[in-house]
Chains A and B, each alone.
Chain A
Amino acid sequence: MAPKFQGVDFYNVDGLLSEEERAVRDTVRAWVDDNLMPVIAEHYVAGKFPKHLVPQMAELGLFGANLPEEYGCAGLNNVAYGLIMQELERGDSGVRSFASVQGALVMYPIHAFGSDEQKRHWLPKMASGEVIGCFGLTEPDYGSNPAGMITVAKETKGGWILNGAKMWITNGSTAQAAIVWAKTGAPDDVESIRGFIVPTDTQGFSAKDQKGKLSLRASDTSELVLQDVCVPKDALLPKSGGLKSPLMCLTQARYGIAWGAVGAALACYDEALSYAKTRVVFGKPIGGFQLQQARLAEMLTEITKAQLLCLQLGRLKDQGTVTPQQVSLAKRNNVSMATDIAREARRLLGANGILAEYQAMRHLANLESVYTYEGTHDIHTLILGQEITGLNAFN
């Protein structure tokens, strides 16, 4: 059996965590070692999400773990939630994405914008994994510019009729319920954007697996088509209103991604370090050569900075003072550094680095998606630019 992951903690960041936070992290870490690591490579190569792990993840309490206990959730603080994301992505970004979508993009909007009945009906089923959800915001022609969406919801006597298409939807083909964002007013009326809970077995709703992915292969990514999908009045999330609502969801998910990226970086660094100490070339371990030491030193430095960044971001979130721009900075920095680390780790591993048996190239390929989704690296640059200068450079 592979040795258990021991974590990387150069600055005693563990000392800044509470006992419960460490316990949560250790539980998820052990679960990933025992259950995800042995199967991830084969699932990745086969292009399959390891669906059999969903009940176990639910039993541990990984879905919507920072939502209240009254809905069957674990009621954790945001630092513990972040550590869950870190450990899941230490396994695979696709599996972390699954949990991110279920918790931050499906359960969160129901909790934040839903009625009491909606919360009581959906959240316990989603926490227990009985209902899987997906989040439909992005459209084929509207990725970085969601305000331009053309999916519409028309009010009728009995409810709503939805028409449109959504793309790059994680869990799309697996889900029993989709949170669909649509305009209820004129095509240019951004304020008319509302969220709907759409059961995926509703007539006119279809999901199609997106083929040919070279990244996030252990994750379900689908295209959704809504053709005259009729839903009752109570499918509307009553407190959702305007583009701000889905963006609030994205802030939640981006927060988890900032932590998750650290997990991917930890996996790559750990693998690179152990390889560097055991792979002998020119008569000594390659870790004894300056070029590899420079790689490892750089990786450790960036990981340590990102760990501290995440922790303070989490503390701010727990205090309720965090801003979306602060989340953008962490998502932007951490995913970029993790991508760099994955690439350097893959190179350090030489030819072995291209094999699925090792982790680095899988993480590298995954991180290219993570770099692009939930606000591309470039979009986060512009969010920060606007925050700094007060000037909008988006259009």
Chain B
Amino acid sequence: MKIAVCIKRVPDSETRVKIASDGKSLDEAGVKFILNPYDEFAVEEALRRKEQAGAGEVVIVSVGPAAAQETIRTALAMGADRGVLLQTDTIPADGLEIARALAAEVRDSGYDLILFGKMAIDDYNHQVGPMVAELLDLPCVTAIAHLEIGGGKGTAEREIEGGVEIVDFPLPAVLTAEKGLNEPRYPALKGIMAAKKKPLEVKPASLGAGGLEVLALTPPPQRKEGRVVGEGPAAVLELLRLLREEAKVL
């Protein structure tokens, strides 16, 4: 079982990010970066598939700055076999450019599965996985919550509104991971030490400019302060009136 997992280095969701002086990017000073949490599910799933098959290789691929090597090594510490960084200082806003670079890297390399997180928590685009599938002309199942592999094919479950969708697909395939697909392991200390010695290839990413440009980033508007509408049973009527007439939610 040969599996590629495409991962992204993203700001820690607990970090309070600041917008840089150009008004359209993040100020990275003092920001902690992590392995995109959805990609963690993908890495864990790849490791379990390899363990289940008893043999194989899990390769971590990322597009990002030099510092993304640290993110790749987190996945290597969890147990992946080797990493490839397609290095670039600026990540284009157009996910299609990322998808092209990743597709070129994983094409014709004999992967049975190409895994992604269903989205990156910094841009919420949900795009790159399906785009890579399209570029490689492979079947794609997104946001999977359960996976079975066997006999050259797979079955995945997707949680959809009000139910579960069960999807069959042939291998090779592209899958994107939903939260809850598994419980990712901690990178154990021996794994962290072993990760230092695992191969990590760094090569320049060839990326086009793409068709999208970020014009501005703005923080969400400040929430208005709450208001006490009254006390006791009388407040209920006033609250109902305000919800109906002012907030117009009733």
Contact = CB atoms under 8 A, between A and B. Distances in A.
B186 A24 contact: no
Interface in B171-219: 186-190, 192-193, 195-196
Given A3-B14, A4-B14, A19 B73 contact: yes
Interface in A63-119: 65, 69, 74-76, 80, 84
A65 B193 CA distance: 11
A20 B187 contact: no
Interface in A19-65: 19-20, 23-24, 27, 30-31, 59-62, 65
Contacts of B14: 3-4, 6
A74 B186 contact: no
Contacts of B196: 20
A62 B190 contact: no
Given A3-B14, A6-B14, A19-B73, A24 B190 contact: no
Contacts of B195: 20, 23
Contact of B189 (A3, A4, A19, A60): A60
B75 to A, nearest CB: 11
B70 interface: yes
B189 A62 contact: yes
B189 A65 contact: yes
A35 to B, nearest CB: 10
Given A3-B14, A23-B73, A60 B193 contact: no
Interface string B11-33: 00011000000000000000010
Contacts of A76: 189, 193
B77 interface: yes
A24 B73 contact: no
In this complex, the member of A3, A19, A23, A69 whose beta carbon has the largest number of chain B beta carbons within 10 angstroms is A23
Nearest to B67: A19
Interface string A227-243: 00000000000000000
Contact of A24 (B15, B32, B70, B189): B189
In this complex, the member of A3, A20, A75, A80 whose beta carbon has the largest number of chain B beta carbons within 10 angstroms is A20
B62 interface: no
A27 B190 contact: no
Nearest to B34: A26
Contact of B74 (A23, A31, A59, A62): A23
Interface residues of A, number: 21
B188 A20 contact: no
Given A20-B193, A20-B196, A74-B193, A59 B188 contact: yes
A373 B187 CA distance: 33
Contact of A30 (B70, B186, B192, B193): B186
A31 B188 CA distance: 10
Contact of A69 (B32, B73, B190): B190
Contacts of B190: 61, 69, 74-75
B189 A61 contact: yes
A19 B67 CA distance: 10
Nearest to A61: B189
Nearest to A77: B193
Contacts of A4: 14
Contacts of B192: 20, 23-24, 27, 74
A362 to B, nearest CB: 24
A24 B74 CA distance: 10
A24 B194 CA distance: 12
Nearest to A65: B189
Contacts of B73: 19, 23
Nearest to B69: A19
Contacts of B193: 20, 69, 74-76
Interface of A: 3-4, 6, 19-20, 23-24, 27, 30-31, 59-62, 65, 69, 74-76, 80, 84
21 contacts: A4-B14, A6-B14, A19-B70, A19-B73, A20-B193, A20-B195, A23-B70, A24-B189, A24-B192, A27-B186, A31-B186, A59-B188, A61-B188, A65-B189, A69-B193, A74-B189, A74-B192, A75-B190, A76-B189, A80-B189, A84-B189
Given A27-B187, A59-B188, 18 more contacts: A3-B14, A6-B14, A19-B73, A20-B192, A20-B195, A23-B73, A27-B188, A27-B192, A30-B186, A60-B186, A60-B188, A60-B189, A69-B190, A74-B189, A74-B190, A74-B192, A76-B193, A80-B189
